[in-house]
Amino acid sequence: MASDIQPQPQARKPCLLSKIEAFQEVVSTAVIIPKEDGVISVSEDRTIRVWLKRDSGQYWPSVYHTMPCKSEFVLAEDYNKMTPARTYQAHQSRVTVVLFVLEMEWLLSTSQDKNFTWHCSESGQQLGTYRTSAWVSGLQFDVETRHAFVGDQSGQVTILKLEQDSCSLVTTFKGHTGNVTALCWDPVQRVLFSGSSDHSIIMWDIGGRKGTAIELQGHNDKVQGLCYASHTRQLISCSADGGIVIWNMDVTRQETPEWLDSDSCQKCEQPFFWNFKQMWDSKKIGLRQHHCRKCGQAVCGKCSSKRSTIPLMGFEFEVRVCDSCYESISDEDRAPTATFHDSKHSIVHMHYEPTAGNLLTSGTDKVIKVWMETGSLT
């Protein structure tokens, strides 16, 4: 039987187009203005700035304003004037995420005060609030179902059903060992991506109702941003060490197995060090327990001496596998499904603009970088 040929990731590399400097503080949020050579940035000094690309190819500030709190501004058509429109009194602590839902005319926000709120952007009236168990660091919204996805510092993702003036808890799920740092929602495939300080990304199958959770392991530091290009089925992720990973999601990925419990190696049956009875009976010293990342079996170090990448299971780096699983992994199975790039600054925020296929990163070096994908993501 002929084996299925999996699509290979195209050799695409982020090409640096421009740098925007002259910030006094770190830029916590920034977006590329669609169909314009411009960027809107918000920095830690509470200033919001609009940058336009000049004929020289450099970005220069056209206008800026200081924000007292969560505020709404109206930009002139030429982007040279910014007029305060409304101030939203919603939180008692620092705001962590703000999301505007144009279709609903809702403004969603979260804060370190552990409150998730939504306002009507037309009237400015607060429609509702929900108390979270930990402060929220990731927020996404599905217009079709009115579901809000809330990721917090405990590593949990909560799904809420929002109404005009109320909300209800749908479910919660947890797969990260660290706090959730970023969320990304694909309304077409109905898949939620979550990034974490544990260096991992999890792809949650929401629409398929299968409860599938696919892990992606390709970063050496905490994940700081996630963006999804639905037309090319590529996930873009960035981390605090400056790494940018472009994942090919147009492949049939495999769910990682649950780790099995055992008092002895499931290959050679040698006892583990806590199995005193078997150690006494066999007069053998107990061994340390490990797990094969491919089959999930509990094995000793001797029976899992090999390392291998398993890209279709999300392991782009070499991981521990048992000897029998190692023999079953072919060179084709080891073909990478992601490409890796260095932004050369410690990333704190990322934004992807699908119209032109450009990427924006801001770092702890107080610099914004605008990238274009060679080969294009569009």
Spell out the SS3 assignment of 97-142: EEEEECCCCEEEEEECCCEEEEEECCCCCEEEEEECCCCEEEEEEE
Q: Does 210 have pLDDT greater than 70? A: no
**How far apart are alpha carbons 148 and 141 in whole angstroms?**
4
From 292, 307, 212, select the one nearest 252 (Cα to Cα).
212
State the pLDDT confidence band at 76, using cuts at 50, 70 and 90.
confident
Tell me the pTM.
0.85
**How far apart are alpha carbons 247 and 256 in whole angstroms?**
17
- Phi-psi region at 157: left, alpha or beta (left = phi > 0; alpha = psi -120 to 50): beta
pLDDT at 117: 93
165-191, pLDDT tens digit by residue? 889 999 998 999 999 999 999 998 899
**How far apart are alpha carbons 258 and 296 in whole angstroms?**
6
Mean pLDDT over residues 156-169, rounded?
A: 92
Q: Does 103 have pLDDT greater than 70? A: yes
Q: What is the largest CA-CA distance in the chain?
A: 83
279-291, pLDDT tens digit by residue? 677 777 667 889 9
Residue 371 burial (C-beta neighbours within 10 Å; 0-12, 13-18, 19+) = buried
Neighbours of 81 (CB within 10 A): 13
From 124, 19, 17, 32, select the one nearest 69 (Cα to Cα).
124
pLDDT at 5: 37
From 54, 60, 55, select the one nearest 41 (Cα to Cα).
60
SS3 166: coil
**How far apart are alpha carbons 327 and 127 in whole angstroms?**
58
216-249, pLDDT tens digit by residue? 999 999 999 999 998 889 999 999 999 999 999 9
SS3 53: strand
Task: Tokens 């914004």: give the residue.
Answer: 368
